[in-house]
Structure 1
């Protein structure tokens, strides 16, 4: 069994570029193959992230947070804003053994950068 989160976005290219720049996400599938794209699958490490191009109110409160387990939170944090995201604050060491930084992608979706300590 696997779970694939899917982000609905009015600006598929901008959101895809954010995940490519910050996490190295690579496009592995698009629908349709030719012409305006409705859906893309991005490979991020061993996981997949879906993107759907659709008009959506990005100002609505998010109801899910994506957490990406990374090698070095502090190395990725400076990539967030140049890629169109927002940094909510510095990384912090958590008592359960993770270093975490909270950021937003370009659409305002909350994303955790999480590192095992």
Structure 2
């Protein structure tokens, strides 16, 4: 058995707010959009050459095709890591856009500078770069 790639998909409370974060603030590019009755319910995004993420709307109490409940969200079961050139300036820009900083930029023992911000649904997003 061989798998080729992974495509994480997030259930969002407010798809437009999530697009503003992932597309507009982090620089993901929209690659696909699905609408039902004129309402966008799913968007696929790409960052760079191969990083993909899907954002979808699931109504309160709703479930996915698999039948498991996806709403309401309980806890934070998702964390995304995005690489950038400058953690400090990137986090400063995200904070200026109103995204909460969960952990201020700090150096790690494994050779990266990291920080955490929250996406519009409260998921932690690690902003990281290799230390110069």
Deviations along 1:75-114, whole A, 9 cap, x unmatched? 2102223434210131011010110001110110011001
Matches within 5 A, 1:59-78: 60-78=74-92
Equivalent residue number for residue 52 of structure 1: 56
Structure 2 residue runs of 5 or longer lacking an equivalent are 60-70
- Is 1:42 the equivalent of 2:56? no
Equivalent residue number for residue 22 of structure 1: 25
Is 88-97 or 29-38 further displaced after alignment?
29-38
Equivalent residue number for residue 11 of structure 2: 8
Q: CA deviation at 1:65?
A: 1.0
Give the aligned length.
116
Larger radius of gyration: 2
Q: CA deviation at 1:2?
A: 1.3
State TM-score, norm by structure 1.
Answer: 0.88
Distance 1:16 1:54 in 2: 15
